[in-house]
A and B are shown apart, each in its own frame.
Chain A
Amino acid sequence: MSKTVMIVDDSGSFRTVVKMALTKAGYEVVEACDGKDAVGKLDGRKYNVVVCDVNMPQMDGITFVKHLKASPAYKFTPVIMLTTESQESKKAEGKAAGARAWITKPFQPSQLVDAVARLAV
């Protein structure tokens, strides 16, 4: 049974590109357009890993991660932040919120696939 990844990003084209890379590697992908949409998809479905952007409308990535970690069902779901942000303060914020990895755009598809493979539960 293939593992499921949730990708949270407000750019539809970017979600499509990431979905292509992960699908090719054998993962099922669930998309969310921002943090609020992603919260709506925390409905009991199992996600082996969450890949999340930082700067999004309605609910940013850091807030979403805090929300995810507060949920008993998703407390241990690994989160990879995938963003253009590279400031150390932002990284520290992500780490404090519970993220397990930080990927700075632009990135190679293989980097994302390797990180997902490493962290997916």
Chain B
Amino acid sequence: MESLTAEAHLDPQTRPTPVARWTARLRRLPLMPLVAAAAVALACALAAQGGWLALLSAPVGSAVAAVLVWRAGRSPVAAPVTPSPAPEIASPAAPAAALVDEGGARLMVSRVVPVWRRQLETARGSTEESFNEMVQAFARVADGLSTLASQAEMAAPTHAGASAVDEVIAARPDMVEELLQPMRRAVQQRDEAARALTEGAESLRQLDRAAKECKALARHTRMVATNASIEAKRHGGHGNAQEQRGRFDAVAAEIRTLGDRSAELGEQLQRALADLTRQFEPLRRHAELHDITEDELHLEARIQARKVLAGLMTDLGRSLQASHEMRALATQMRDDVDAVFLGFQAGDRVGQMLDILERDVRKLIDWNATRASASHADADAWLAELEQSYTMTEQRNQHHNTVSVDTDAGVEFF
């Protein structure tokens, strides 16, 4: 801070005149003690005259001197800071309300700098606090993004959409297989039965052919027997023995042929039956071992379906839980972003406060360069003008060093 007494640094055109300098020095002389001394001197002069004046002058003069000295010894009381509508700073030519020994610069410094210090402290504290909050908010946002990414990765197979079912099936093939087991078994049994029936049908056709041949054979046998009977009746006892033997040989040969054919048919029938037995025996054994009714198939299918659904519900529950956590995290992150937004605003406010202080510092430097003295009235006016430049309640509270209660934030509609 530049000193008021450094007149050598001033421009010669702006230096105070000798009259002004002596006037200023006289103003700085202690008036009260001078007056007291003058009162004592007068009392002594009166006492020298003698008479009743001498009796009065001593105590009266002493009393006046005592009062005046007492008043001079009292320290000046700082005038209360009140907003003043007059922005003008007292000029050097104007009569001073009260002068102080320290000099104008020290007076101004002692009055104005504490206010600046409080404002700067508030700005510093506010900046530190808001930046700390912003750093913490950024850290939370970063953590939240990381967690969201993990959650999204875990929840990826079960996100909603047209392909969600396919994704679930692809994600849990074991459950799907278990669900299909009963049906697979039923289909296998059906296929085996169908195969056996197909093969059995062929054997049945063979049996049918054999049966038809038996019928034909039986018909032929009847014809031979009938012929033999007719021959026997027609030629009974008549003719020679050779002719009769020849006829019976023919009949016998026919009957032998029929017998051969009958034996052959018998074998065919046996083979066909053996085939049928061979084809149906495994089916019968399989059915004995794995005998399962339709009701049991249904029950098994329901049990497997329940297991699969339980597994799916568990997956779905996990996915829903992850979704809830992600929603909560997103809400938290939105609040953190709002906190960052508030932090930016705090910086803006601090900037305003510092702008005002910077202007005031420059103004005081310029003011001090042109003033030889300052008074409490000057300081009061200065502080009042400074207060007029404030834009925030907390600045005004810091100006007066009062407690700041933040009730300002919000929206008011007119």
Contact = CB atoms under 8 A, between A and B. Distances in A.
Interface stretch (B68-76, B259-267, B347-355): B347-355
Interface in A67-121: 83-87, 91, 94-95, 99-111, 114-115, 118
Nearest to A98: B414
Contacts of B409: 104-107
Contact residues of A: prevailing secondary structure: mixed
A25 interface: no
Contacts of B391: 54-55, 83-85
Given A14-B348, A84-B392, A86-B393, A109 B341 contact: yes
B413 A101 contact: yes
A102 B348 CA distance: 18
Contacts of A85: 391-392
Contact of A13 (B344, B352, B393, B408): B344
B414 A95 contact: yes
A106 B258 CA distance: 122
A100 B308 CA distance: 62
A91 B412 contact: yes
B392 A107 contact: no
Contact of A84 (B341, B349, B412): B349
Contacts of B346: 106
B338 interface: yes
A21 interface: yes
Contact residues of B: prevailing secondary structure: helix
Interface residues of A, number: 31
Given A55-B352, A100-B413, A105-B349, A14 B344 contact: yes
Given A83-B391, A84-B392, A104 B344 contact: no
14 contacts: A13-B344, A13-B347, A14-B348, A83-B391, A86-B392, A86-B393, A91-B412, A95-B414, A103-B410, A104-B410, A106-B342, A106-B349, A111-B410, A111-B411
Given A13-B348, A104-B410, 20 more contacts: A14-B344, A14-B348, A17-B341, A84-B352, A84-B392, A85-B391, A85-B392, A86-B408, A87-B393, A94-B414, A95-B414, A99-B414, A100-B413, A103-B411, A103-B412, A105-B409, A109-B341, A111-B411, A115-B411, A115-B413
